[in-house]
Structure 1
Amino acid sequence: MSTDVPHLIMALAERCMPNARLEWGRAMRAEHEQAVLDGRSMSFAMGCLVTAMLEMPRHRAGRFAIAMHALPLGMIVPIAVFHLGCAVSGVRLILSSHDPYSANLAAGGVAGRAASEAYLAAAPALTVLLLLLGLAHLRIAWVMLDGQWRRAGVLWMLAAGLAAAIVAIITAIDSGMRGSAIQVAALAIELVAIPVLATWQRAISTDLMEVR
């Protein structure tokens, strides 16, 4: 197992290098075989990976790889985790019939009590919608990393519909609730990023075909 890890790191380092430096990647792997015999396999592999990663912003395919991984892992997955966490909180509310936000609404007089009752009544539907929205975002991140841009677009439309339903329900309960702006901003970024990344990948593929 310990010998497999450096080889995996070397494979990752080669994937980070541009096609123009494939010969350098092969030479790097040959040197790694000697490093294995010298007992410095891991340090050599890590050095190669760091070097390859530092090269990534300098070539087109590397910049694309950084962008394609940064958006799903840096924004979409955290949003998915947030929605799934809200769904778990909704399940707890349904099971316990007690929620701090509901209690705060109820303390606001007649209008507050009415909003609290509406909030409790809408909790099951909101929980299901939040669960579906979280799962949809996880799937969007997965298909984007896999380069399935058409499927990512379809899933984005599903996520937008779910988000619109959630915002509509929440606004009907209490128009003063916050958080909708963040959801709208995230969906807007995804809407722009999916076709941009798809076009970028097609351009890179075209360049590679011309080189070959």
Structure 2
Amino acid sequence: MEAEFEEAVEDGKPMMFAIGCLVAAWREIGKHSEGRLILANYALALGLLIPMAALQFEQAVGFLSSAAGPPFGMPGAGAGPNLYLIWSQNSAIPILLITWLLLGMAHLCLAWMLVEGDWPRIVKCGTLIGAAMITMSLFMSVLMLDLLPLRAQVAELAIELAAVVSISRWHIRVFADVSREMLAR
């Protein structure tokens, strides 16, 4: 390949050679189980984990800059803020913001680790995400805040967990086959 590249440089077409190599690699990646796994990892990271991180950041920004009064929703339409809880709810705003930002950053880290295939850290990061979501749900329910924004996030988190588990099983299966092939040689 180096000799072919040297010839392409002599002909003045190194970029065309590189593009040809890239096209050939893209045609071949889907033919191998490792290549399909890599593509699935990237698809999960770019299609689910990064949008979930963006959702977490959007929730934090929306929570902070609510134009319709206090930055938290009260259960029950037309009901005003509970005067007995308003101080506690206002005091909880920084903690909830930090938790939402933590969830966003954890999703970005999870996407990065998934692409790298660092499974021990993926498990730790997934545990952090689950614990933060449970903590936020409990904290918001104790403060009698509206849990409606969390419903969609919990459903998406369940889908995310199922996708990561299926990718991990696929990863185990693919690399078990590769190790058997290596032993046969």
Q: TM-score range by the shorter chain?
A: 0.7 to 0.9
Contact 1:156-1:190 within 8 A present in 2 as well: no
Select 1:42's aligned residue among 5, 12, 15: 15
Q: Give yes or no for contact 1:149–1:194 (8 Å, CA) kept in 2.
A: no
Contact 1:102 1:120 in 2 (8 A): no
Structure with the bigger percentage of helix: 1
Q: Which has the higher contact order (CA 8 A, sep 6+)?
A: 2
**Aligned-residue RMSD, C-alpha:** 2.9
Of residues 51, 70, 73 in structure 1, which corresponds to 2:43?
Answer: 70
Q: Deviations over 1:49-75 (max 9, x none)?
A: 123213322321111011111111221
Aligned partner of 1:114 among 68, 72, 82: 82
Match of 1:84 in 2: 57
The TM-score with structure 1 as length reference comes to 0.68
- Same amino acid, percent of matched pairs: 34
The alpha carbon displacement at 1:139 in A equals 1.7
Q: Deviation of residue 119 (structure 1)?
A: 4.9
Call closer, same or farther: CA 1:120–1:47 in 2, change over 3 Å: farther
Distance 2:90 2:62 in 1: 13
Query: Per the alignment, in what secondary structure is the counterpart of residue 33 of structure 1?
Result: helix
Partner residue in 2 for 1:8: none
The answer to whether structure 1 residue 52 and structure 2 residue 25 are counterparts is: yes
- Distance in 2, Cα, partners of 1:82 & 1:208: 37
CA distances 1:136-195 after superposition (whole Å, capped 9, x unpaired): 1122112212211122122112101111222334453125x3x32331233223322333
- What SS does the aligned partner of 2:81 have? helix
Q: Which of 54, 60, 69 is the matching residue for 1:102?
A: 69
Counterpart for residue 149 of structure 1: 119
Counterpart contact for 2:106–2:125, Cα < 8 Å: yes
